[in-house]
Amino acid sequence: MRFSLLLIFFLFSYSDAQYSSIWFDTDNELPQNSIKDIVKDKYGFIWLSTDNGIVKYDGNQFVIAKNRDLTNYYFGIFVGNIQQDSILNYNSLDDNSTLINKRKFTVNDALKTQSTTYRKGKKYTNFYLFSKHRLNKDENYFIRLSSGTYYFHKDVIIYENSSKQVTSISLHFDLEYLKKMFVHDDVLFLVNSSEKKVLVFNKGILQSLKSHPLYTDPESKFYWNMLNKQVFVVNKDKIYKSDYHNGQLKASELISYKNFGHYSFCSMYYDKEYNTLYLGSYSRGLNVLKLNSFLVSRKNDAFDSNIYYASLAFDNNTVITEKGNVLNQKSEAQNYNFQEGYKDKRSSMIYDSAGNILFDNDGKLVRRYKNTGYKTSETFHFKYEVKDVYKSQDLYMLSMADKNNSYLAIFKDENFKKIKKLFRFKNNLSNIIHYDKTHLLVGNKNGLFMISLENDKIQIIKGSQNIPIKTMTKTSDGRIWITTMSKGLFLLKGNQLIGMPIDPNKFMLSAHCILEDKNGGMWISTNNGVIKVMENQLIQYAENKKNKVYYYRYTKKDGFITNEFNGSCVPCGNILKNGYFVFPSLEGMVFFKPENVKTYYPDPKTIYVERAKVNGIDIPFKDTLKISNEFKNGEILIDFPYYANRENIYIETNLSNNSNDWNRVENSKFVINDLQPGEYALKVRVLISPNGNFFHKTISFIIEPKFYQTFLFRASIIILFVLLILWIINVRTSLLKSKNNVLKKIVFAKDDKLKEASINLEKTKEILKNETEYQKKIIETISHDIATPIKYLSNLSKNLYETDDIDLQRKYFDSIYKSSAELYKFTLGLREYSNLYRDEIKSEDEYYDIFELFESKVKLFREMALLNNTKVYNIADHSIKINVNKNAVSVIVHNLLDNAVKNTQNGKIIIDAEYENESVIIKISDSGRGISQEQIDYYRNIVENLYNEEISLKKYGLGLHVVLHFVRKIGGGITFQKNDPKGTLVEVTI
């Protein structure tokens, strides 16, 4: 055969790539462990096909797409068109066809299945959908591409384009080749490993044939993700991504995955934007691999051998440590084995003009000579103990100390023979740099100091007192930035320090080292990750404290072995000539190129504020959300796909008219639980770039009021209260008229009785006097007994009208309801008062439970007592039963409880009953302000002279006089005494 085009294969290997790995399965959010296929839609959301449903993933959570119309949840491979927003999937036996469109999953059985097709009476199976890994040689297969369809038979391949034109390709063809079939840009490739050939078909024409070791290796496996147009080659545990451009196949190594074949992977997707590889297994779930831009260089030795502090840039792509280890991006390249018998870690290193390395060691200064390959060394001894060695511009310096003081020694030259200047400090020095040509900056735990090299004066920088200085860095614009041991980051501006804002997690409080990239980014190592911040944001904050600073944090998820980096060493970071930045950590040296390390922010085109969750139920909305008054908890959700560290997402909301009143929200949701009913305009903004640019969205939501929060309800309560007062007045008037009618009947008797009435005039006058007295007592008693509940309801109604607090409104309404119900029950028995006052009180026909009688009164007064923060307890025994007139006992208990409630604040009231001999004693005690001895003597006198003297209704109020009256009528006794430790105890014996 003739081949018109020669295919050239290129293999790019990035063997230094590292990755972090996380597995998801049924133990953490997935519905099932078989991941048949993976696809990313046009909105950035990832969808998984499993044997228990379709799953949507936004980088934060997995959501199972449910639909009641599904007959089963066993799904296969995704097909369709991502750009046309049409992703299809079919469950087993083609029971249902489903559609993913506009980020939603729906069942659409009208969609035609693509599992099988017929051509000229022959049945063909869609190889991509069903047979990629379970080939049946007795079947015929087809593959449908955008330009046309390929039909596969033994020894023949038929191509039919969209115009139904047919091309037949006869060749020695085995269906086994389909296992190594893949497609690039509508060009179909079939690999014949046995003959070391790659068959290439472009619109039905076999164009070229070229062997290549990777593609034709029998051990190579091919994974074709049709919808995402990706092809992967796996060979000897290495995963390659295959690409096809300008007639050339290219394979670039992504990662080396140990024991790849043990995991039964069946689906793959590579997210280039986030540099993340997704591997779906038949049985183990989803493996998400973050391909790191940070590279950790470490030795295969014990843990402590990979703890690094000070280091120097050694050549274009390596650093040398204080131990003599030379490390590149991958591992240790060489070891000079600096062994001077040091006891502690070395904290400082410098080069001299000849390239020799100087470092402090066990209180001495050591120089390793370059011209001997750093094999020979010289040790310098000084009067004071050497702590650190520094070089700034042309000055060579030592930080030294004795038992009492610390010293900065400036030497005449790099030979360290003669001290040119010596400055004394109280504490050890941490860092030294030039401020300008004639001034040095010196830091220690007491603050930041300025040394004049002209007059040798030392001045402390304003505002730096007691700030523990760690490092000082001068950026390319001449600004000096200071990190501290516990106080955060500062800018030295003029002669004063300006504190910078702290990151949300407060990791900047213990920042170590600052390295500046070419784009104005500052990379800061800390005890918990590496933080990036734009210098211009810090400068703007220094000028105007209202400007915000946005920190971006990298963690182990981005490739570190540990989040803890090391500081308090000089240098604590390096920039190599090849552009790599290097930070020391507790687990190796971390290398990275700033331009290759991305900061990830949500795409403004894929941010959606159109969903709320109220009482656990999803509620979609467009621009306005209505929330019923029955909700208990609610939240407005900000949805977007994001596959990096979500702590770097800044979502802020504003619910006020103040344009600067922005508050950061967590977990991508605005909680509405504590809001009052009303209409709200919620402004949402999401940070979308490191420069402080935001996506903005405003939505409206309405919280409907409860019925008792409406103006109509409040007005109704007031009207009801007025009607209740009018009704009470009417009851009192009716009682008065009733008694007047009785008097009229007595006075205006029949004529034949007038003479007799005249004779008994004095007796009649006495009757009239008694009836008038009874009427007066009845009206006063009714007014007294109903006054406290009415006053209580009045106060509640006023409070209800004045407050907008939902919880208080609910509490007030509940109290009004309960108290009104009990008050209504009480008023039903008011007419009995007339008979109780005038007539003889008779016993009940049956015994009744005294507890139940007490409880009816407690219910009436309990809510009133709670208003005074007082609790009422009914502890009477159900076994105590009496047959004394129930209404009379009720009046007694009512008035005693009324008095107790009025006189008790922040306390308790207890009502009890007990048998004593053949009597029952009712006890009502309170912890209120108590009864005076004068009152006790007064009531005792009334009790003793009750039958001989008229009751005064003026002194000390009416309530207890009513009690005394009814106690007499039922033949009982009553005592008053002080309660222990405070309050009043009243005992009624019946």
Average pLDDT along the chain, 990 residues, taken 10 residues at a time: 41 54 93 95 96 94 88 89 93 84 89 82 85 72 92 88 90 81 93 87 82 87 94 96 88 94 94 96 95 89 82 96 92 87 69 95 93 94 95 96 95 94 94 96 96 96 93 95 95 93 93 96 97 96 93 93 93 96 95 96 95 90 86 91 95 86 91 84 94 93 75 69 69 62 53 51 55 54 58 65 63 64 54 62 88 89 84 91 90 88 92 91 92 82 60 51 81 90 92
For tokens 């040689």, the residue is: 137
Pairing between strand 122-126 and 116-119?
Answer: antiparallel
Q: Are residues 699 and 669 in the same domain?
A: yes
Q: Which residues contact 485 (CB under 8 A, 6 or more apart)?
A: 445, 468, 469, 470, 510, 568
Q: Return the SS3 of 599.
A: coil
Q: Which residues contact 568 (CB under 8 A, 6 or more apart)?
A: 309, 347, 430, 470, 485, 512
> Across-strand partners of 170?
156
Provide the pLDDT for residue 952: 46
* 966, 912 contact by CB (below 8 A): no
For tokens 């639909």, the residue is: 67
φ/ψ (deg, to 5) at 215: -70, -30
Virtual torsion, Cα 91, 92, 96, 102, nearest 10 deg: 10
Pairing between strand 581-585 and 574-575?
Answer: antiparallel
Q: Are residues 844 and 973 in the same domain?
A: yes
Selection from 727, 844, 821 nearest residue 782 by Cα: 727
Distances (CA, A) of 955 to 928, 946, 960, 962: 20, 15, 10, 13
Out of 645, 673, 704, pick the residue that ends a domain: 704
Provide the pLDDT for residue 797: 65
Largest Cα span, the chain: 152
Peptide bond into 981 cis (omega under 30): yes
Q: Are residues 711 and 834 in the same domain?
A: yes
Out of 676, 704, 732, pick the residue that ends a domain: 704
CA distance 428 to 411: 18
Distances (CA, A) of 431 to 411, 440, 457: 17, 10, 18
Q: Is residue 490 part of a domain?
A: no
* Paired tokens of 348: 């400082």
φ/ψ (deg, to 5) at 597: -100, 115
Strand ranges inside 257-294, DSSP E = 265-271, 276-281, 286-291
Provide the pLDDT for residue 207: 79
The terminus-to-terminus CA distance of the chain in angstroms comes to 124
* Paired tokens of 633: 């908890």
Long-range contacts of 808-815 (CB under 8 A, 24+ apart): 809/706, 809/708, 809/709, 810/706, 810/708, 813/708, 815/863, 815/866, 815/867
351, amino acid identity:
Y
Q: Return the SS3 of 972.
A: coil
**β-sheet with 439-444: strand ranges across:** 429-436, 439-444, 447-452, 458-460
CA distance 548 to 813: 45
Out of 689, 704, 719, pick the residue that ends a domain: 704
Compute the Cα dihedral for 937, 938, 943, 947 and give only its sign.
positive
Q: Is residue 899 part of a domain?
A: yes
* 898, 861 contact by CB (below 8 A): yes
Ramachandran category for residue 587: left, alpha or beta (phi over 0 → left; psi -120 to 50 → alpha): beta
* Paired tokens of 614: 């109220």
Q: Is residue 568 part of a domain?
A: no
Q: Is residue 24 part of a domain?
A: no
CA distance 586 to 511: 15
Q: Are residues 666 and 744 in the same domain?
A: no
* Paired tokens of 773: 């007295």
Distances (CA, A) of 864 to 596, 860, 925: 71, 8, 17
Selection from 448, 452, 451 nearest residue 462 by Cα: 448
Ramachandran category for residue 593: left, alpha or beta (phi over 0 → left; psi -120 to 50 → alpha): beta
Provide the pLDDT for residue 951: 45
Q: Are residues 920 and 816 in the same domain?
A: no
Provide the pLDDT for residue 948: 44
Question: For residue 568, how many other CB atoms are within 10 A of its CB?
Answer: 18
Q: Is residue 371 part of a domain?
A: no
CA distance 839 to 964: 16
768, amino acid identity:
L
* Paired tokens of 38: 């993976």
Q: Is residue 856 part of a domain?
A: yes
Q: Are residues 646 and 769 in the same domain?
A: no
DSSP 906: S
Q: Are residues 834 and 867 in the same domain?
A: no
* 30, 280 contact by CB (below 8 A): no
Compute the Cα dihedral for 507, 510, 513, 519 and give only its sign.
positive
CA distance 901 to 928: 8
CA distance 471 to 477: 18
Provide the pLDDT for residue 294: 94
Provide the pLDDT for residue 174: 78
Selection from 236, 231, 196 nearest residue 216 by Cα: 196
H/E stretch holding 183 reads: strand 181-184
> Across-strand partners of 297?
589
Q: Are residues 748 and 797 in the same domain?
A: yes
43, amino acid identity:
Y
269, amino acid identity:
Y
DSSP 500: P
* 771, 763 contact by CB (below 8 A): no
Q: Is residue 797 part of a domain?
A: yes
Question: For residue 597, how many other CB atoms are within 10 A of its CB?
Answer: 21
Task: Tell me how many domains the chain contains.
Answer: 3
For tokens 């000084």, the residue is: 382
Give the CATH number of the domain where residue 621 resides.
Answer: 2.60.40.10
Question: For residue 971, how many other CB atoms are within 10 A of its CB?
Answer: 10
Q: What is the DSSP string of 628-693?
A: -TT-S-EEEEEE----S-GGG--EEEE-SS-TT--EE-STTEEE-TTPPSEEEEEEEEEE-STT--
Provide the pLDDT for residue 114: 78
Q: Are residues 887 and 954 in the same domain?
A: yes
Q: Is residue 527 part of a domain?
A: no
For tokens 């200064």, the residue is: 365
Q: Are residues 610 and 685 in the same domain?
A: yes
Selection from 15, 566, 578 nearest residue 314 by Cα: 578
φ/ψ (deg, to 5) at 244: -135, 115
Helices 761-802 and 886-902, axial angle in degrees (round to 10): 50
Residue range of the domain that includes 722: 707-839
Q: What is the DSSP string of 838-869?
A: HSPP---SS-EEHHHHHHHHHHHHHHHHHHTT
Q: Are residues 847 and 829 in the same domain?
A: no
Q: Are residues 858 and 928 in the same domain?
A: yes
Peptide bond into 571 cis (omega under 30): yes
Provide the pLDDT for residue 8: 43
Give the CATH number of the domain where residue 874 resides.
Answer: 3.30.565.10
